[in-house]
Amino acid sequence: MKLATGVAALIAAAIASPAAGAQSAPAATNYPTKPIRLVITYPPGGDTDLVGRAVAQKLGEAWGQQVVVDNRGGAGGVLGTLIAKQAAADGYTLLLGTSAGMVLNPLLMNKIPYDPYQDFAPVSLVIVLPQLLAVHPGLAARNIREFIALAKAKPGQLNFGSSGVGTPNHLGGEMLKAMAGINIVHVPYKGGAASITDLIAGQVQLVISSAPSVVPHVRSGRLRALAIGSAKRSPALPEVPTVAESGLPGYEYTTWYGIFAPAKTPEAIVKKMNAEIVRMLADPQMTQRFQSQGGDPASSTPAQLTAYMREEMARWTRVIKTAGIRIE
C-alpha cells in the first residue's frame, strides 16, 4: 500500500521538523501547569476518537488543565504517531497509541519512521476492545463450528470483509483461516463502516470488527454474532461465546489502546500520569462507559504495557508470516 502523495509529504515534513526543543521538564509535583495535547491517530468519530475524548475529559477534570484532543489521521496511524514522537519530551504531548500503530504497522511496513520501543515511553494500557465475528443472519451458520463446517464444504466461496489490507480485522480473519484450516476470500474495503454496510446487505458473509461497531446491528437483528475474539465474554454481549470456547481453542483477537509519551519524558511525570490513569479506569462510571460500548477498561504499569506489546508482536508475526502480508 503506497502512501498518498499528500500524506507522504506531511510525514516527510514531520521528519524534517525538529522537536520543540529539549526543554527542562517541569517538576512532577507541579505537573501539569498548562494544557496538554493528546494526539489521536485517526479522524473524529471512530472508536479511537471516542475513547481518546473520554480519557482527555477525565484527565482534564483530575488535573485542572485542559487536555486538547488533536486528531491527526493519515497513513494508517503513522502520521499522528510520528507527530507525537517529534514532540518535546516534557509531558505536554501524549499519544493514544493503538495496537495497529504500535504493533502491526512496524511488522507490516518496510519503512516506518518510528520505533515503538525506542521512540516512546509507555504510560498505561487504557482499553481492550474485543472483536466480534459477525455474519449476515441469512447465512446457514449460527456458531463458529457451523461456520467452519460451511467454509470447508464450500472452499473459496465464502468471503470476509475488512477495513483494508493489513488492518487488524484483516489479520483477525487470516488467523481464523490458519487456525481453522479454511479457505475464505478476503475483501478489503476503504474503512470498517463500508464492510459492515455490505455485510448487512449480504454482499460479504463475515466481518470481524470491534464490538462498539457491531453490537448495535446485532441487537437490532441485522447481524448475527457468532463469537467474540477475546479470552473472556464481553459484558456488552454476555450471551455470545468466545471463539476459543466455541471450538477453536487458542484463538484470541482483540485490539487495544494505550497512553504513550515521547521517549525521555521524565520518569516522575510518567509515574504521575500512570497513577492518574489507573485511578480513572477504576472509577465505576468510566468502567460502565467503556463496557456499554463493548470495551474492557484495562490499566497497566509501563513495564506491563511493554511486555504486552512484545507478546502481541510475537503472535501477529506468526499470522503475518503465514498469510504472506506486506505493505510497501
Residues 6+ apart with CB under 8 A from 11: 3, 74, 75, 78, 79, 82, 113
Interval 13-67: pLDDT, tens: 444 444 444 444 445 788 999 999 999 998 887 788 889 999 999 999 999 999 9
Handedness of CA 148, 152, 153, 157 (dihedral sign): positive
Instruction: Determine contact, residues 225/214, Cβ cutoff 8 Å.
Output: yes
If you compute the radius of gyration of the chain from its CA atoms, what whole number of angstroms results? 20
pLDDT single digits (tens) 128-161: 998 999 999 999 999 999 999 999 999 999 999 9
Residue 18 is placed in which grid cell? 525538529
Residue 95 to residue 223: CA distance in whole angstroms: 34
User: How far, in whole angstroms, is CA 204 from its chain's centroid?
Assistant: 23
Q: List domains and CATH numbers for the chain.
A: 30-129+255-323 (3.40.190.150), 130-246 (3.40.190.10)
Report the pLDDT averaged over residues 286-293: 85
Strand intervals (E) in 167-289: 185-188, 206-210, 224-228, 254-262
Share of the chain above pLDDT 90, in %: 66
DSSP 4: P
Amino acid identity, residue 39?
V
- 158: number of Cβ within 10 Å: 20
Q: What are the grid coordinates assigned to 21, written together?
A: 526543543
8 — pLDDT class (breaks 50, 70, 90):
very low
Nearest C-alpha neighbor of 55 from the set 229, 242, 222, 290: 290
Does residue 236 carry a pLDDT above 80?
Answer: no
Rounded to the nearest 5 degrees, what angle is found at the Cα of 263, between the Cα atoms of 4 and 25? 125
Q: State pLDDT tens for residues 194-211.
A: 899 999 999 999 999 988
- And the C-alpha cell for 228? 467474540
Whole-angstrom distance, CA of residue 248 vs CA of residue 179:
7
Q: What is the mean pLDDT of the chain?
A: 88
Q: What is the DSSP letter of 202?
A: T
Residue among 175, 228, 173, 232 at smallest CA distance from 206: 173
Task: State whether residue 52 is helix, strand or coil.
Answer: helix
Calculate what percentage of the chain has a pLDDT beyond 70. Answer: 91
Three-state DSSP at 256 gives strand
CB 304, CB 124: distance < 8 Å: no
Which of 5-14, 68-77, 81-90, 306-315 shows the lowest mean pLDDT across its residues? 5-14
**What does 260-282 look like in DSSP terms, one character per residue?**
EEETT--HHHHHHHHHHHHHHHT
Among 44-48, 167-171, 302-306, which stretch is predicted with the lowest mean pLDDT?
A: 44-48
Residue 138, burial from CB neighbour count under 10 angstroms (0-12, 13-18, 19+): exposed
Give the pTM: 0.82
Q: What is the dihedral of CA 213, 216, 221, 222, to 10 degrees?
A: -40
